[in-house]
């Protein structure tokens, strides 16, 4: 009887669900420190598929989430007038710290600091001072991508009936502002052909604040945390528009296309390009005076890419040429289509069974030079790929690594040449074969980040960066993470080698790939040697 009772208790304990948890804390304004009510709080289950548990802060900024399953969570906060934030994040773009809660745990005194958003507002007028209705206003910011600082379009809006615009939900930072007549989807600018004896036909053109057609001399508008920057007024410039005509010498049967962009990459296209005929003649109309980059592509419609994403159309090579439009048409450009190298490769996994293919990862060709486009391709099921590359130096990286299998790039070879560190160079129509080996015996680095008083720092950004300068621009060879509520971090699947480990309290995402940024912190990095299948613990002090 006693044995039966013990067994019954044992099985009851085995089948009992884990005890629920609670999360509680306060939300405050990061500038004033005052509590915030009416904030929606969502506990996002890391790695789970549930919709998340939510609640709303009361007037004193307090929140309480009950009946939470044990696990790992991120807390997201949303409120009108503020940027969306995560618990532990220093910036609205950050994912924040992970909270780990065990069965029956009551996690208290959590604090989420929300940042009020900024605003840029102003008026767009024509050259006579009249408000422009339905003008398209665009904000551009600088960011880091694949180790390079780039300009990208982030926000846009249309002016109202008074010519006014207001763009909200802005993080603090510096912005370029431009305006163009008409909506964002409107055709190229209309040219004024009114009867005027003393002027040539003109059009209103894209104008950058405070009043220039050249983005390289545009003025940045700085927005502090929560600032409302008004008076960003733009008077649209009128200008004659010109035409660019070019002949691109390409083999018969290939398609030719061209597009014009500003010389400062990231500010979009200019003019209206069209293929005059299939002989390689290209015409671009509606171009105001300025410095530009003419990008052109040659593709074979009979040879579609095998598994390619991003680029479309067929096997293709891109080229570019810098040019200046100086108050006259540019005619008679003679351009030669770049000779495309035929690059093929095979990706294998070290120590894997023949049936365990590397297929499914995305292989990416990075920019070999200014003005030449990227190429990316999915590996075939057997781990092979093929792509055409324009002349230049190319480096490779994978997206999807380390992934669930914890893979890293161990080697890339072209014949007897090691091209892992410095890439490979193409000069024409040669054929290059690459052998790429992935491995899964990476090391693990973990530890705790502390402040000057040896107290753990939550939400610090921890980055593992190769000591070898040639590998520092490779995102594949760097690891990053964010410390949890105990200041703990863990970086898995790092390729064996020599590194420096950094911990920042607040730093712009991916800016550590910029050598100019990293040099200011070089001496503060902690040297770390990562060994295959090894685990080590490091104590770091945060860089303020």
List, for residues 253-274, the tens digit of each pLDDT value.
Answer: 667 778 888 888 788 778 776 6
- Alpha-carbon distance of 140 to 339, in angstroms, equals 34
Q: Is 363 exposed, middle or buried (0-12, 13-18, 19+ CB in 10 A)?
A: buried
- Say which residue, 332 or 372, is predicted with more confidence: 332
pLDDT band at 148 (very low <50, low <70, confident <90, very high): low
pLDDT value, residue 371: 34
pLDDT band at 127 (very low <50, low <70, confident <90, very high): confident
Lowest-confidence pick of 36-40, 167-171, 390-394, 399-403: 399-403
Q: What is the mean pLDDT of residues 229-241?
A: 95
pLDDT value, residue 464: 95
Q: What is the mean pLDDT of residues 405-432?
A: 85
Lowest-confidence pick of 21-30, 66-75, 353-362, 440-449: 353-362
Which tokens sit at 289?
């005076």
pLDDT value, residue 49: 72
359: pLDDT strictly greater than 80 = no
In the chain, pLDDT over 90 holds for what percent of residues?
48
Left if phi > 0, otherwise alpha if psi is -120 to 50, otherwise beta: which for 278?
alpha
Residues listed for the chain: 544
Q: What is the mean pLDDT of residues 286-298?
A: 86
pLDDT value, residue 188: 52
pLDDT value, residue 403: 65
Sign of torsion over alpha carbons 194, 197, 198, 200? positive
Distances (CA, A) of 429 to 141, 341, 343, 387: 38, 4, 10, 12
Helix, strand or coil, per DSSP, at residue 470: helix
Q: What is the mean pLDDT of residues 517-531?
A: 93
User: ∠ at Cα 255 (254, 260), nearest 5°?
Assistant: 135
290: pLDDT strictly greater than 60 = yes
Is the Cβ–Cβ distance between 396 and 376 less than 8 Å?
no
pLDDT value, residue 70: 92
pLDDT value, residue 183: 61
- Alpha-carbon distance of 291 to 304, in angstroms, equals 34
List, for residues 42-67, the tens digit of each pLDDT value.
Answer: 999 987 777 789 999 999 999 999 99
What domains, with CATH codes, occur in the chain?
Answer: 19-114 (2.60.40.1120), 118-239 (2.60.40.10), 243-336 (2.60.40), 341-432 (2.60.40), 443-541 (2.60.40.1120)
Q: What is the mean pLDDT of residues 60-86?
A: 95
pLDDT band at 15 (very low <50, low <70, confident <90, very high): low
Q: What is the mean pLDDT of residues 196-215?
A: 81
pLDDT value, residue 169: 95
- Alpha-carbon distance of 77 to 55, in angstroms, equals 10
pLDDT value, residue 233: 97
Average model confidence (pLDDT) for the chain?
A: 83
pLDDT band at 369 (very low <50, low <70, confident <90, very high): very low
Sign of torsion over alpha carbons 143, 144, 149, 151? negative
């Amino acid at each position: 009887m006693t044995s039966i009772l013990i067994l019954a208790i044992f099985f009851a304990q085995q089948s009992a669900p884990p005890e629920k948890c609670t999360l509680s804390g306060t939300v405050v304004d990061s500038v004033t420190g005052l509590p915030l009510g009416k904030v929606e709080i969502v506990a996002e289950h890391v790695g789970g598929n549930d919709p998340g548990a939510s609640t709303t802060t009361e007037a004193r900024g307090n929140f309480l989430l009950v009946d939470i399953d044990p696990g790992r969570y991120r807390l997201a906060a949303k409120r009108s007038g503020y940027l969306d934030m995560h618990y532990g994040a220093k910036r609205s773009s950050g994912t924040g710290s992970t909270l780990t809660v065990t069965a029956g745990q009551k996690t208290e005194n959590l604090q989420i600091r929300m940042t009020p958003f900024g605003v840029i507002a102003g008026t767009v007028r024509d050259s006579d001072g009249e408000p422009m209705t339905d003008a398209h206003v665009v904000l551009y910011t600088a960011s880091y991508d694949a180790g390079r600082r780039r300009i990208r379009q982030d926000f846009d809006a249309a002016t109202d009936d008074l010519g006014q615009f207001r763009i909200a939900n802005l993080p603090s930072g510096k912005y370029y502002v431009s305006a163009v007549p008409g909506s964002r989807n409107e055709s190229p600018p209309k040219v004024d052909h009114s009867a005027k004896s003393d002027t040539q036909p003109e059009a209103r053109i894209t104008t950058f604040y405070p009043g220039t057609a050249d983005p390289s001399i545009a003025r940045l508008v700085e927005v502090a945390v929560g600032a409302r920057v008004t008076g960003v007024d733009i008077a649209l410039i009128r200008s004659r528009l010109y035409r660019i005509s070019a002949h691109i010498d390409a083999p018969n049967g290939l398609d030719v296309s061209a597009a014009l962009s500003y010389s400062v990459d990231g500010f979009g296209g200019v003019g209206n390009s069209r293929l005059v005929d299939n002989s390689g003649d290209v015409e671009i109309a509606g171009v105001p005076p300025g410095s530009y980059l003419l990008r052109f592509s040659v593709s074979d419609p009979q040879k579609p890419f095998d598994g390619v994403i991003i680029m479309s159309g067929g096997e293709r090579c891109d080229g570019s040429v810098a040019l200046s439009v100086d108050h006259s048409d540019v005619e008679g450009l003679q351009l030669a289509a770049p000779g495309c190298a035929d690059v093929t490769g095979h990706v294998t996994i070290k120590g894997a069974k023949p049936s365990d293919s590397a297929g499914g990862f995305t292989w990416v060709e990075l920019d070999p030079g200014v003005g030449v486009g990227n190429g990316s391709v999915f590996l075939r099921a057997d781990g092979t790929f093929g792509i055409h590359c324009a002349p230049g130096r190319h480096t490779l990286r994978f997206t999807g690594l380390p992934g669930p299998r914890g893979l890293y790039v161990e080697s890339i070879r072209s014949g007897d040449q090691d091209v892992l560190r410095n890439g490979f160079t193409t000069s024409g129509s040669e054929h290059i074969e690459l052998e790429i080996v992935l491995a899964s015996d990476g090391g693990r680095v973990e530890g705790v980040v502390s402040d000057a008083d040896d107290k753990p720092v939550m939400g610090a950004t921890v980055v593992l960066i190769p000591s070898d300068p040639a590998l520092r621009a490779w995102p594949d060879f760097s690891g990053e993470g964010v410390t949890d509520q105990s200041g703990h971090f863990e970086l898995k699947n790092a390729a064996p080698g020599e590194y420096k480990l950094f911990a920042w309290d607040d730093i712009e995402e991916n800016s550590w790939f910029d050598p100019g940024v990293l040099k200011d912190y070089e001496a503060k990095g902690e040297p770390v040697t990562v060994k295959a299948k090894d685990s080590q613990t490091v104590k770091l002090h945060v860089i303020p």
